[in-house]
Structure formats: C-alpha cells, structure tokens
Amino acid sequence: MTDCIFCKIVNGEIPSNKVFEDEVSYAFRDINPQAPVHILIVPKKHVESCAVLGAEDEALVGKIFTNIAKIAKDEGLEKGFRVISNSGDDAGQTVHHLHFHILAGKAMGEGLVP
Ligand code: 5GP
Ligand code: ZN
C-alpha cells in the first residue's frame, strides 16, 4: 500500500520511535499519546482492520498478542494495560492499517467507551 502511513513506518520511509520488531510485526510509540505509555503494534503486511481478518491471519494475530505480552513485560506494565483496536468509522479508525493500541501508565477505570 503506497499511501498508507503505517506501511511507510514499517518500511522506514516515515521515522518512528521503535519499541519492538519481529518478522511479522512492528511496534512504535504513538505520535499523540493518550496515556503515559501509548504504543501501537501493527502487522508488517497491510491489513485494513479487524473486519477483514480471515483464517489465514490467525497465526499473525496470535503472534501479535504474544508480542504484546512481551512488550508489556519489557515496558514494566505490571500494574496493567489496555489493548484497543478500532475498526471502521463508528469506532473512530483513522489509519486504515490494522493496529492495536497498548495503553498504560495511569488508572483508566472500568468504562470502555467515553
Ligand atoms: P486509530 O484512530 O486509527 O485507532 O489510531 C491511529 C493512531 O495512529 C492515533 O493514535 C495516532 O496518534 C497515530 N498516528 C497517526 N499518524 C502517526 C504517525 O505518523 N506516527 C505515529 N507514531 N503515530 C501516528
Ligand atoms: Zn498499510
């Protein structure tokens, strides 16, 4: 995807503050953090959102979640963290490349939707 910001971040065309990388995924700090710790993890391949995931993506998504656990450990998030993936307009997805927000560093309470 030539016009996708996150594809450009993955291939280094747009600089980012890298947190973690493996063969299938890339994690970096959000440019506009919504919590003291705000990391995004994305698949290296372009996938639009959760809405288009298929059976062929099961290993990829599983790996991303194992990597989220690794990142949480490395970042010292013992007190907890929240994982969010916005999919589509009603969810407020602004970048149409699948990503998981990892939010932490403050008490976020029990509500999920503002
Ligand atoms: P969404 O609203 O699609 O769930 O989340 C997109 C996220 O990407 C937002 O939190 C936004 O701050 C972040 N973002 C957008 N452009 C860039 C960028 O160029 N670099 C980084 N590091 N984050 C970005
Ligand atoms: Zn992309």
Q: What is the pLDDT along the chain (114 residues), one digit of tens a residue?
A: 679 999 999 999 999 999 999 999 999 999 999 999 999 999 999 999 999 999 999 999 999 999 999 999 999 999 999 999 999 999 999 999 999 999 999 999 999 887
Q: Which residue in the list 38, 46, 96, 99 is annotated as catalytic?
A: 99
> Which residues contact ligand 1 via a Cβ below 6 A?
5, 14, 16, 28-32, 40, 86, 92-95
- Cα(107)–Cα(35) distance, rounded to whole angstroms? 10
Spans of all domains in the chain: 5-101
Q: How far is residue 75's CA from residue 19's CA, in Å, rounded to a whole number?
A: 9
**Per-residue confidence (pLDDT) for residue 113, from 0 to 100:** 84
Which pLDDT score, from 0 to 100, does residue 36 have?
Answer: 98
**Which token pair is 43?**
């698949």
Decide if 99 is catalytic: yes
pLDDT, one tens digit per residue, over 63-78 is 999 999 999 999 999 9
Measured from the CA of 14, which atom of ligand 1 is nearest?
Answer: 19
* Beta-sheet strand order (sheet of 82-84): 18-21, 25-29, 37-43, 100-104, 82-84
CA–CA gap between residue 18 and residue 29 (Å, rounded): 7
Report whether 85 contacts 99 (CB < 8 A): yes
**What is the topology classification, in CATH, of domain 5-101?**
HIT family, subunit A (3.30.428)
pTM: 0.97
Q: Is 38 helix (H, G, I), strand (E, B) or coil?
A: strand
Q: What is the pLDDT of residue 1?
A: 62
What three-state secondary structure class fits 53?
coil
